Chains A and B, each alone.
Chain A
Amino acid sequence: MLGSFAVLRKQSLLGDAISHAALPGIAIAFLITGAKDSNVLLLGALVSGLIGTFWIRGIISKTHLKSDTALGLILSLFFGFGMLLLTFIQKQPNANQAGLDKYLFGQAATLIESDVWMMAIVTGICLFVLLLFWKEFKILLFDADYTKTLGFNTKFIDILITTFIVLAIVLGLQTVGVVLMSAMLLAPAAAARQWTNSLSVMVFLAAIFGAFSGVFGTAISATQNNLSTGPVIVIVASVFVLFSFVFSPSRGLLFKQIRFIKNRRDLQLHKTLAFMYNIVESHENISHPHAIKILNNFQGYTKGTLQKLVSKNYVTLEGSMWSLTEEGFKTASNLYSQQNDNNE
């Protein structure tokens, strides 16, 4: 759901970076408390995710490094540091250390009831804040400068929205793990984007897509042995995206291709008609018959276009001769004047 904002803000890969950056937070939280209390660990993840995010911001705004470099840099450095800490923890004499690496790949099956409640509560808060600041988020998303002139505290809104994205990611970590979290954030939103241009519909659709891929993914992974939940969910979400790419009515590839072909056909039809018109113009009688042969040299001409013209009543055929009808002549001359109009 929050992914919609990430996608529209062109920060898609931020999710990936944050989920990696959360790792040292988990490790440090564990080192400090020495216990595997999931809430404390999540807090640590949240903090280090936020540090990562704002560092990325700092790099982009203060140096000439580009956003992709900053993302890749923070992602790999934080993750490497996290790994260092994890391996360091493994050497510590602490029985609790096992299972920390679950956060890497996530295990939806290991979730316990309290985790689920926690997630539900956080989701609820996210929803509430989203509704509360809906207008502000929306306006910041599409026209940041305008927002500033209106007197909103853009920095505050920005931080708020970033915090919630980080929060959502950190929560999701437990379920699908570090590597696949970015897909969970992106895929539903990217799929939803194909179906609508309206933000509210998009957020709603993204939530539905996300929920569906969660349910389906879990169901599929439950039917088979040895199939971890996270990857299956991601695959299902990817299928959703693919489906949306191909079949969405206004932006999808399929319909685009169909439109493209239709346009080309139309153009050919018009070209043939214009060519005929040119020939016919040189004669006084518009219905003067001409041989089909002379059309053969013309590029846009095919039997199909001729048939189409006949069926549209623009042309009549008599044996191997054709002639323009009254209607066809009119349309063709209009075609010309329209083109001239367009050119002017």
Chain B
Amino acid sequence: MSSAQIEIQLIASLVAIACAIPGTFLVLRKMAMISDAISHSILPGIVIGFFMTQDLNSPVLILLAALTGILTVVLVEYIQKTGLVKEDTAIGLVFPALFSIGVIMIAKNANDVHLDVDAVLLGELAFAPFDRLIISGVDIGPKSLWIIGSILVITVGLLFVFFKELKVSTFDAGLAASLGFSPAIIHYGLMTVSSVTTVGAFDAVGAILVVALMIAPAATAYLLTNELKRMLIYAICFGVFSAIAGYWVAHWLDASIAGSITTMLGFIFLIVYLFAPSRGIIAVLYREKQQRTEVSLLTFLLHLKNHTEERERHVNHLNEHINWQKVRSKTVLDLALKNNMIQLDKNIVSLTEKGDEFTSKAIDYIITNEDAQIEDMKDDFFLFRG
């Protein structure tokens, strides 16, 4: 591994961490699309900054771009406040407009300079180590490493100082306001951090990857845990892992690093989405199937309870009457038998004592709909698993 490779991976990991922290809060605050909007609309800010300084890495540029990012947020909120359109429409209107302005400015004025739309949108991590920061003749590492490093330090510092405030205002804005934190300040603070991170990272990894690194790790972590601290840690781990793995995939395929990091993120998300223990698709589908069977069982038992005539309780009649397919009614019948809810006597089904009690309880719950009884019922329902 050459030093350039190590540096690339280091930059990618730092970007991943720096993005994961604000990203987690954005996902929790249901503002994930704002990051997409910001990453597009900082373009005019970057262009103006570039005209002023002629240097892609100057702090003025980052400042201006961050300002444009905040402007986007303010505009979106203003449009939304007028009540004319919904929030998502407002986002969808603001950022293409700003982005177009940026594209036109580039096209009109900057044709001959090295700033083109592709570079801004997609970034190129592979060149990051060549742009070195030299202070008084000493080479102290790539510029973007320093930029993203300082952004990360600031972000982490802010996170530790304002962790409690962020937490409260994210989950209960009303409580936060009544405790005396201004939700507006925290909101705009978070937006500023997101903008600055986006700007700092876009140069290294491009606008799209910034969005992916913000949202994907946080969303993946959210599928796995409900606790904020753990979610932050998971998100950071996912981010760093896919940054490094993505780099090697890109190395192997000889393709865009940004693209392959995103693909790794997508891959991780897909796996978690499918197999997460309680939130994954497979778990959800399994649970839904179980619940369907349980509902069927309940219907079946209720039917038995309501009919005392033998004719109504014949196995074959049940098939027709409740209108289930053969396989399905067999499953339900087996399940009920296994739990001693019913007894079979010459193909005539009748409730056992246990089944009778259970059914009365279920009816009680359905009629009164009281929460206290659910807990009890839940235990009963877990009996049927397996």
Contact = CB atoms under 8 A, between A and B. Distances in A.
Nearest to A63: B279
A59 interface: yes
Interface string B253-275: 11110111111011001000100
Interface string B209-221: 1011011101100
Contact of A84 (B121, B260, B285): B260
Contacts of A72: 32-33, 35-36, 211, 214-215
Given A13-B33, A232-B104, A68 B88 contact: yes
Contacts of A7: 85-86, 89
Main secondary structure on B side of the interface with A? helix
Given A73-B216, A80-B265, A235-B104, A13 B84 contact: no
B80 to A, nearest CB: 12
Interface stretch (A117-125, A179-187, A289-297): A179-187
A77 B216 CA distance: 8
B103 interface: yes
A274 to B, nearest CB: 31
Given A69-B215, A187-B93, A253-B82, A180 B99 contact: yes
Contacts of A91: 254-255
Contact of B36 (A76, A85, A241): A76
B30 A66 contact: yes
Main secondary structure on A side of the interface with B? helix
Contact of B263 (A75, A80, A234, A238): A80
A227 interface: yes
Given A62-B281, A62-B284, A72-B35, A80 B212 contact: yes
A233 to B, nearest CB: 8
A45 B262 CA distance: 19
A7 B90 CA distance: 10
B31 interface: yes
A68 B33 contact: yes
Interface in B132-162: none
B100 A231 contact: yes
B269 A69 contact: no
Contact of A234 (B85, B100, B209): B100
Given A12-B88, A81-B259, A84-B259, A71 B265 contact: no
A88 interface: yes
B73 interface: no
Interface residues of A, number: 63
B208 A76 contact: yes
Nearest to B272: A63
Contacts, number: 201
B85 A190 contact: yes
A249 interface: no
Nearest to A194: B84
Contacts of B256: 83-84, 86-87
B92 A186 contact: yes
B375 interface: no
A224 B109 CA distance: 12
B262 A12 contact: no
Contacts of B313: none
Interface in B209-242: 209, 211-212, 214-216, 218-219, 222-223
B17 interface: no
Nearest to A178: B121
A157 to B, nearest CB: 22
B92 to A, nearest CB: 4
A284 to B, nearest CB: 50
B212 A76 contact: yes
A16 B36 contact: yes
Given A88-B253, A105-B117, A245-B84, A69 B27 contact: yes
Contact of A87 (B79, B92, B259, B269): B259
Nearest to B110: A226
Given A66-B30, A227-B104, A75 B97 contact: no
B111 interface: yes
A251 B82 CA distance: 9
A78 B250 CA distance: 16
A10 interface: yes
A101 interface: yes
A231 B103 contact: yes
B107 interface: yes
Nearest to B111: A226
Contacts of B212: 73, 76-77, 79-80
B223 A63 contact: yes
B346 interface: no
A83 B33 contact: no
B18 interface: no
B381 to A, nearest CB: 21
Contacts of B33: 13, 68, 71-72
Most central of B88, B222, B261 by chain A CB within 10 Å? B88
A135 interface: no
B95 to A, nearest CB: 8
A69 B82 contact: no
Interface in A80-103: 80-88, 91, 101
A245 B82 contact: yes
Contacts of B281: 58, 62-63
B100 A65 contact: no
6 contacts: A69-B219, A73-B32, A183-B92, A186-B93, A226-B111, A245-B82
Interface of B: 27, 30-33, 35-36, 40, 79, 82, 84-86, 88-89, 91-93, 96-97, 99-101, 103-104, 107-108, 111, 117-118, 121-122, 208-209, 211-212, 214-216, 218-219, 222-223, 250, 253-256, 258-263, 265-266, 269, 273, 279-281, 284-285
Given A76-B209, A81-B266, A182-B96, 7 more contacts: A12-B91, A69-B32, A84-B253, A179-B40, A180-B96, A190-B93, A231-B99
